[in-house]
Structure 1
């Protein structure tokens, strides 16, 4: 379902750190984000098992990816979205011929309702917590290795942790045991960061970040265990820093990404001191279907 995306050297970002910065451009996936890697892998597997319908819950990228895969496999899709979901996200999901059901104020409420809709003929496609997703997302590391690039550091945005789990699995199966992972979140959605600090999974009382694609109140258990085992570096930026990174990325590379992706770009644009020890830095440009230049400017004004 997914395509092999370019791995581009970023001259502008490489000027901000001692090493070389590489961009894994998953914003160019046909569904608009990296999500189609794992979701496509899962959908194919469930279709092979005889599934007649896909049900998912999402406020954006995952829902569009499931809808895209369902259309390609000729399997109907229903996506439950919370009330906070943008009209653009709902429009893009319907454009892929999926049914959109609005329920609940948060993703967690939409997720619980979606689970109630699952019967023996349907498969639930979780946005981030499914081993099939992680296996599919791991292909992003396979492709980096095919380019003969051995990263010292991979920078990844974290919401529920599906991409992080996939990156860790990909590093393990390519025997890149010396490659470190930097997990980036925004303030108000830092469930991984707080969990690692506390030593147990933390459930956020609410999501206050505008980076709603990172808006899981708690990470998956496997995410927490993998991050601890692999000694993932965790860091947090503000909404303002994430948005500024998105706008600078447009200027430098002419690609629009959402603030969730901006979180991964932000430490590079800030020339963060802890990046100085790495020679080859790969940042996963994960994309984002709801982002537009107009929306980014609106968010910028809202956060001051």
Structure 2
């Protein structure tokens, strides 16, 4: 019998010092970095993996050299099934080792995600009983991510004025929107943050249709989907979604500020969310009266693919 949830309920922290960046408002951090794998990915991937195993899957397959691959490996370990993760050649040995420590088999193939994904699709056809676990593009992924809003609805002392989250392929944001509808918060604005060079959602929002990026140039590789899921774009017109983009420099600097404040290292993908506060974007939206009265909630999505030394090196290079 598989466990009901493979993720944990994460802390919600009211951080008074952050109100200096958004005067007159309380600022809350939803610490998804506290998940066992260090990122929100355990919510969606845990749900997808659990349902797959309940429906007869005997082998989980993933294509990700980052947090999604790590989450799939952890889900397989908890569900007691084998796992294979296909990663591109560019994946760091540090992340490969972390995935292997969960008991998964790692296959290096190709020099980018698309090539590695094609290999994963081949393996699904070759390995009997296997299921491919997408990093973001599946209804079960979105269902798992709704749980972050369910928790907020029970933890928050009042309705949030805005929820801030990073968006890559769109799994988290799609789940957040579904969660808002579920708890009766459909009118709560959501600020979706990206970095330039990984801003396919922002481009899609401007075009009112899915836009594919030719290549990812941002260092925030966890945001590195060339397109967002169709499920997200179908939902956007029914919610108050704002899209903003920051430079890599702002994302990295925000990670370093956060490490100093909370003693937690997160990836630049998460730094994009933090930059909404540190770089004054939320303050500007407030002054433009695009945010109603009340507290701001930042989803600290986490990520374990970087070290403090790497962040400091990037900060020097991006000066």
Consecutive unaligned residues in structure 1, runs of 5 or more? none
1:253 equivalent to 2:262? Answer yes
Pick the aligned partner of 2:37 from 31, 35, 53: 31
Match of 1:87 in 2: 93
Of residues 304, 309, 317, the one that matches 1:289 is 304
The CA deviation at 1:104 is 1.9
Q: In the aligned structure 1, how far is the partner of 2:17 from the partner of 2:264?
A: 14
Q: 65, 75, 79: which one pairs with 1:59? A: 65
Residues 101-138 of structure 1 deviation map (CA, whole Å, 9 limit, x = unaligned): 11122212212221111135101100000000110110
Matched, 1:118 2:127: no
SS of the aligned residue for 1:167 comes to: helix
Count residues in correspondence: 304
Residue in 1 aligned with 2:75? 69
Name 1:136's counterpart in structure 2.
144
Q: Alignment partner for residue 285 of structure 2, among 256, 264, 274?
A: 274
Shift of 1:3: 0.8
Deviations 1:267-298 (CA, angstroms, capped at 9, x unpaired): 10122211454421111000001121111112
Match of residue 165 from structure 1: 174
- RMSD of aligned alpha carbons: 1.2
Separation (CA, whole Å) in 2 of partners of 1:90 and 1:238: 28
* Inter-partner Cα distance in structure 2 for 1:9 and 1:282: 9
Q: What SS does the aligned partner of 2:21 have?
A: coil
Per the alignment, residue 192 of structure 1 pairs with 201
Q: Deviations over 1:45-73 (max 9, x none)?
A: 11111111000111200000000010111
CA–CA distance in structure 1, aligned partners of residues 235 and 244 of structure 2: 16
Q: For residue 93 of structure 1, report the CA deviation from its aligned partner.
A: 0.6
Could you list the runs of 5+ residues in structure 2 that have no partner in the other structure? 1-5
Contact 2:195–2:247 at 8 Å: present in 1 too? Answer: yes
* 1:117 partner SS: helix
Contact 2:177–2:186, Cα closer than 8 Å, also in 1: no
Q: Which string of whole-angstrom CA distances, capped at 9 and with x for unpartnered residues, describes residues 132-181 of structure 1?
A: 01101100001111113421111010100000001001101001022111
Contact 1:196-1:228 at 8 Å conserved across structures:
no
CA distance in 1, matches of 2:22, 2:278: 9
Superimposed CA distance per residue, residues 176-214 of structure 1 (whole angstroms, 9 cap, x where no aligned partner): 022111000000000000011112211111100000000
Deviation of residue 86 (structure 1)?
1.6
- For 1:173, what is the secondary structure of its paired residue? helix
Question: What residue is the counterpart of 1:127 in the other structure?
Answer: 135
Runs of 4+ aligned structure 1 residues displaced above 3 Å come to 275-278
CA deviations 1:243-290 (Å, max 9, x no partner) are 000000111111111100000010101222114544211110000011
Instruction: State whether residues 21 and 282 of structure 1, in contact with CA within 8 Å, keep that contact through their aligned partners in structure 2.
Output: yes
1:108 aligns with 2:114: yes
Q: Is the contact between residue 59 and residue 213 of structure 1 (CA under 8 Å) also seen in structure 2?
A: no
2:3 alignment counterpart: none
Distance of 1:31 and 1:139 partners within structure 2: 17
1:45 maps onto 2:54 in alignment: no
Q: Distance in 1 between matches of 2:89 and 2:286?
A: 39
Looking at structure 2, the residues matched to 228 and 118 of structure 1 have their Cα atoms a distance apart, in angstroms, of 35
Normalised by the size of structure 1, how large is the TM-score?
Answer: 0.97
Question: Do the aligned residues in 1 keep the contact of 2:210 with 2:228 (CA within 8 Å)?
Answer: yes
Q: Does 1:148 align with 2:156?
A: yes
Check conservation: 1:152, 1:178, Cα contact below 8 A.
no
The secondary structure found in structure 2 opposite 1:129 is coil
TM-score by length of 2: 0.93
